[in-house]
Amino acid sequence: MGATNNEPHTVEAYINGEVYKSGEHEPRVNPAKTDETAGYWPLNTVEDARRAIDAADAAFGAWRKTEMKDRIERMKKGIQKIKDNQHNLAELLSREHGKPLYDAEGELTVSIMFMEYAAENAERVYKEEINEDERGKNVLRHEPIGVVSAISPWNYPLALSTEKIAPALLAGNTMVLKPSPMAPLTVTEVTHMIAEEFPAGVLNIVHGDADVGIELTSNDKVRKIAFTGGTNTGKHIMKAAAETIKNVTLELGGNDPAIFLDDFDVNDEAAMRRVVISNFLTGGQICMIAKRMYVHESIYDQFIEKYIEAANKWLRIGDPTKKETTVGPVNNKNQLEFVQSLLDDSKKQGYEIKQLGKVDDEEFFEKGYFMYPTIVLGADYDSRIVAEEQFGPTVPILKFKDDAQAIELANDSELGLTSSVWGEEDHAIEVSRHIEAGVTMVNTAAIQGLDIRFPFGGVKQSGIGREYGEEGMLEYVDSHVINIPATKDLPNIPQ
Ligand code: NAD
């Protein structure tokens, strides 16, 4: 990939080992400067999606028989290309997405980290196991499932795509990936880099919105769907998958609670910086960050004071390509309007809204989908700003009386993705044990609390299945047991 400049960057689909040029392209706006086009992406059709599925299906028979060593070698070559282009990829991602450079670089780091973990562990995780004892012999095999449709959202387009590509291909599956139209450029570059290292048809990428997504989730030849996105879309996908009983992994929405216990030290500046930075990382557009904060009433007033102090120091809103920027624009107009509607509702209810951070260039701010980070104080526990996933730069802060109430409030949601508990470590771990979530982080939140060696995912309506870690890798195989019992007859057969 050549160096990026401010010229629009055009990407294409990749089907059956070839760049697939489509007739129509759509512009992707730069959300920080809405009069600038970051690039163009191909508006693929349902026919194109079928062509990609057919290619993946045709490639599966041979690919599933390849040696693990060969798969790992190819994956490592793909990873190396991404590493060699890391800086340019981060710049392009920042331009099309709006996330600040440090954040875009962080996303590349996480993507590479998990791809390397998958490549390093594939031999061990997918190995055939032979067990033999007095009851007989069992061969446990991990068979690839077949054609995988991977569908990813816009907020972490690279990480949420590569975490599917690496284990799926290493396990012997083939794949068709469809990224989101809201950040389609960098993920396409990365997918091409990997796909070129594999035989034709093993990894394909097509673009489009719901129509292409529906084909990918309902086509008979697809055996597994790996989806990350909103809970409502997840419901449509589950229905589409039901028709032919496809295997599904669903990573859906979150409304993550953060609990600040009575022994949380509000004077710990490093911890307060962690709270503030994680709340507004990627402009609050992350599934795994605090979206409602519960603070013990004994520390509440001081907490708010220190929080605002830290926010005004660390939240620097502006041009995402500038080194010092920590908060960029919202990724798209719809999301901006939705977050604004939650704030309008909060205002109508009489809640207090406090604006945070500094904008150094008001003129620049006006050019993009920018909004000031805010906290909402005095909201009711069941208000919209608390009950709905805002997915943007605002967060409500509420009071609680004791641990039991904090746990009850945290669990009072249909969602259960991640969560965090802040305070004296043993106390926080004890409270964590009672939280209904796939992950609970202690004294940290967001990406800082992600350990890619362990499973990640949600409970309740936040999803089914896991990504990352060994458990995440096993989502891409079916187990197949070859059983040779020592005694092959049924016991107690009447003579
Ligand atoms: P979205 O559900 O609108 O879209 C996700 C993807 O699904 C896009 O590629 C979209 O084009 C596609 N799609 C839309 N309708 C479809 C259909 N009927 N069939 C198949 N595909 C379809 O989500 P989004 O707005 O891109 O992302 C934000 C949401 O994703 C938030 O709710 C967030 O919490 C969630 N998310 C979850 C995780 C996680 O790991 N659990 C991670 C990131 C984001």
List pLDDT tens digits, range 341-365. Answer: 999 999 999 999 999 999 989 999 9
Q: Is any ligand 1 atom within 6 A of the Cβ of residue 210?
A: yes
Q: Is there a single domain that holds both residue 224 and residue 85?
A: yes
How far is Cα 462 from Cα 144, in angstroms, rounded to an integer? 26
- Transcribe 135-157 into DSSP letters: TEEEEEEEEE-SEEEEE--SSST
Q: Indicate whether 93 pLDDT > 60.
A: yes
Q: Indicate whether 486 pLDDT > 90.
A: yes
Single residue among 409, 426, 449 that ends a domain in this structure:
449
| pLDDT value for 216 | 98
- Identify whether 51 is part of a domain: yes
Q: Is there a single domain that holds both residue 128 and residue 238?
A: yes
How far is Cα 312 from Cα 323, in angstroms, rounded to an integer? 17
- Identify whether 410 is part of a domain: yes
| pLDDT value for 84 | 98
Q: Which atom of ligand 1 lies at the shortest distance from residue 179's CA?
A: 9
Q: Is any ligand 1 atom within 6 A of the Cβ of residue 463?
A: yes
85-105 mean pLDDT: 97
- Percentage of the chain lying above the pLDDT 90 cut: 95
- Rounded to the nearest 5 percent, the helix, strand and coil shares of the chain are 40, 25, 35
The active-site residue out of 107, 251, 389, 467 is 251
Q: Is there a single domain that holds both residue 59 and residue 23?
A: yes
Q: Is there a single domain that holds both residue 323 and residue 196?
A: no
Q: Indicate whether 5 pLDDT > 90.
A: no
| pLDDT value for 3 | 55
Ligand 1 center to 69 CA (angstroms): 34
Ligand 1 center to 150 CA (angstroms): 11
Give the pLDDT band (50/70/90) at residue 312: very high
The CATH number of the domain holding residue 27 is 3.40.605.10
Q: Is there a single domain that holds both residue 295 and residue 228?
A: no
Q: How many domains does the chain have?
A: 2
The yes-or-no answer on residue 251 being catalytic is yes
Q: Is there a single domain that holds both residue 116 and residue 245?
A: yes
Q: Indicate whether 8 pLDDT > 90.
A: yes
- Identify whether 335 is part of a domain: yes
- Identify whether 399 is part of a domain: yes
Q: Is there a single domain that holds both residue 344 and residue 267?
A: yes
What count of residues does the chain have? 495
Q: Is there a single domain that holds both residue 175 and residue 49?
A: yes
Ligand 1 center to 264 CA (angstroms): 35
Q: Is there a single domain that holds both residue 191 and residue 105?
A: yes
List pLDDT tens digits, range 421-441. Answer: 999 999 999 999 999 999 999
How far is Cα 419 from Cα 436, in angstroms, rounded to an integer? 9
How far is Cα 373 from Cα 395, in angstroms, rounded to an integer? 9
Q: Is there a single domain that holds both residue 134 and residue 217?
A: yes
Residue 181, φ and ψ in degrees, nearest 5: -65, -15
Q: Is any ligand 1 atom within 6 A of the Cβ of residue 287?
A: yes
- Identify whether 343 is part of a domain: yes
- Identify whether 182 is part of a domain: yes
- Identify whether 117 is part of a domain: yes
Cα–Cα distances in angstroms (integers) from residue 164 to residues 74, 150, 225, in the given order: 16, 7, 10
| pLDDT value for 43 | 96
Encoding tokens for residue 421? 């508990």
Q: Which residues lie across from 415 on neighbouring strands?
A: 460
Q: Is there a single domain that holds both residue 285 and residue 358?
A: yes
79-94 mean pLDDT: 97
| Burial class of residue 185, CB neighbours in 10 A (0-12, 13-18, 19+) | buried
Q: Is there a single domain that holds both residue 214 and residue 283?
A: no
How many Å separate Cα 381 from the centre of its chain? 27
Q: Indicate whether 491 pLDDT > 90.
A: no
Q: Which atom of ligand 1 lies at the shortest distance from residue 417's CA?
A: 41
**Averaged confidence pLDDT in the chain:** 97
Q: Is any ligand 1 atom within 6 A of the Cβ of residue 374?
A: no
List pLDDT tens digits, range 383-409. Answer: 999 999 999 999 999 999 999 999 999
Parent domain of 277: 256-449
Q: What is the pTM of this model?
A: 0.97
How many Å separate Cα 220 from the centre of its chain? 26
How far is Cα 224 from Cα 217, in angstroms, rounded to an integer? 8
The CATH number of the domain holding residue 374 is 3.40.309.10
**Residue with the nearest Cα to atom 26 of ligand 1?**
153
Q: Is any ligand 1 atom within 6 A of the Cβ of residue 228?
A: yes
| Region of poorest pLDDT, from 147-156, 241-250, 431-440, 482-491 | 482-491
- Identify whether 490 is part of a domain: no
